[in-house]
Structure 1
Amino acid sequence: MSEDPLVAFTGDRAAAELMRRSLRAVADDHADLPLGAMVREVLAGRRDVRDLATDPDFAEISARGMRAQEEAWAALTPEERTEQVRLGEAYLAGLDEELGS
């Protein structure tokens, strides 16, 4: 059996699952657009995830999402940031456990 391409890309099963879930959301949100089709091809293993890096639509939605996250992070207090880090680590640990990693 060949290795999951997203695991090969991320180097980690939990990170690959997180990426898979995020890509599914992108595919669903853009189902009727070429971007949605491209992401579905990546998820099906018929295209390389690196192909998304050269897609201008993917770059735009990624940049928009990163800007929103950056603004949200900047608005947090140091205590809230610490809590968000803790929650993120717990979420990834839960994914590890769920996946049997």
Structure 2
Amino acid sequence: MTLEQQLIQRLQDLSPTHLEVLNESSGHGGYFPGKESHFKVIVVSDSFEGLRLVQRHQKIYAAAGDLLSPSRIHALAIHAFVPSEWQGQATPSPDCAHAPKSE
């Protein structure tokens, strides 16, 4: 099972009404085909109701568990919403300073 699949499976514990897991590894230095190191997640869940942003992130870190280690997932961009906040808005990721340069 890929890291992406494992992350999706673990985030299901938050009972999301919307979940996106995007492998953004190709936009970072040291990328090679199949590398899984940088991810972005968009999680919409009632379980975030009444929580501050840092508490929402902590719930996601807890769900991801040991997947978040330098030898596995190096970076995780988190966008956590309760259903009333989620409007399908764009959550763009910044360019990495070490991204492979196109010629």
TM-score, normalization by structure 2: 0.28
Greater fraction helix: 1
**Greater C-alpha radius of gyration:** 1
Report 1 or 2 for greater relative contact order, CA contacts < 8 Å, sequence distance ≥ 6. Answer: 2
TM-score, normalization by structure 1: 0.28
Greater fraction strand: 2
